[in-house]
Amino acid sequence: MRDLEPCRCGDVRRFVVSVTTRPPKLRLVLDLVLAAVGIGIAVWRLGTVTHVEVRPVAVPWVLAAIAGAVISLVLYGELHRRLLWGAGARVPGRTVQAVNFAGNAIAQTVPSAGTTVGLAYLVASLRARGAGTAVALWSSTVAALLSAAVLVVFAPLVSAGTGFLSWRAAVALAVLMAGLSVLVWRLLRKPSALHGIARHIVALARHLPVVRRQDWATADPNPLETLAERVAGFRLRRRTWAAATSCAVASWGADFLALAACVAATADRLPWPAVAVGYLAVQASIGLQLTPAGAGAAEAGLLAALTAGGLGAPEAAFAVVLYRAITWIGLSAAGWVVFAVTGALLRRPKAA
């Protein structure tokens, strides 16, 4: 599938770069404080641990947790690859996975603007590997939206299974979330709707003090409207959408099982309802993006859920630290290694 015309590619690329702004220093300080407070809570609870209270960590369960975390991220990369291929960008799967691991590391560790910087990295990296600007931005955005839609549809049902919500309310919320997701999907398929949304965003931006002088808001023709026109032209088969959705479901399932394995590794029993509630608390903290990877709020919410479910404070604290060490610190470290290696390979001069 052809990318934007050469005269417009530069405009769209500048738009992608211009929306990646440097975060305010106050926000950066707030991020660090919130993260330190939440992590400090977990560390403080670990201070109550004695050799008598805590049994040895079960290594097989730790290995299972690591496998679940890696499989979850690989499945998300496969989701992204299927969207790319469906839109006509035949980027090799191994390349998509490398970009996916590095992009995840950026999104999960860069303070304040991690998600935005991660998105910009994904687009730039995919462009460097042959994908067009529009398809790279479209696939990266839709992959995140599809994954989030799957979670918000299943979250009420999980809450009902734990007794947090009634089944009637949970089903109603799930149907509502599914309906909103379908509505967004239909908008993505209508050129007139996307162009209208882009036009209204630009019109609003030109009246806002912070962004009205930025290049993407003042350019004519506007790169955001140009990008919307191009994105609306992508048409994926139903089979591709079904496969991508299945990858999203499986990715969340593998990540949840990674948390369950961490609890099983540190505790004598596995309180499934508490694990489910704690998992949703972690994902909500990450989604709010108050701190990198929800640091602080995620640890505090998961710790509260596990202790409320009957686990002792030491076992719960160890499970929290283990899960976050694997899924946040561990995967991020792996992603930064991939980032460094792929960057070195791209800078290596090609043989004549």
Residue 200 pLDDT: 62
Residue 60 pLDDT: 94
What's the average pLDDT block by block, 10 residues per block, for the chain (352 residues)? 42 46 50 56 52 67 96 96 89 93 90 75 86 83 89 90 86 90 75 64 63 59 61 75 94 96 92 93 86 82 91 89 94 94 74 46
Q: What is the pLDDT of residues 303-341, one digit of tens each?
A: 999 999 888 888 898 999 999 999 999 999 999 999 999
Whole-angstrom distance, CA of residue 30 vs CA of residue 28: 5
Residue 15 pLDDT: 44
Q: What does the mean pLDDT of the chain come to? A: 79
Residue 132 pLDDT: 81
Closest CA to 62 of 264, 254, 349, 329: 264
Is 148:185 a contact under the CB 8 Å cutoff? no
Closest CA to 131 of 190, 76, 81, 185: 81
Residue 324 pLDDT: 94
Whole-angstrom distance, CA of residue 228 vs CA of residue 173: 30
Residues making up the chain, counted from first to last? 352
- How many beta carbons lie within 10 A of that of residue 168, not counting itself? 9
Residue 350 pLDDT: 57
Residue 136 pLDDT: 86
Q: What residues does each domain of the chain span?
A: 6-20+31-189+235-347
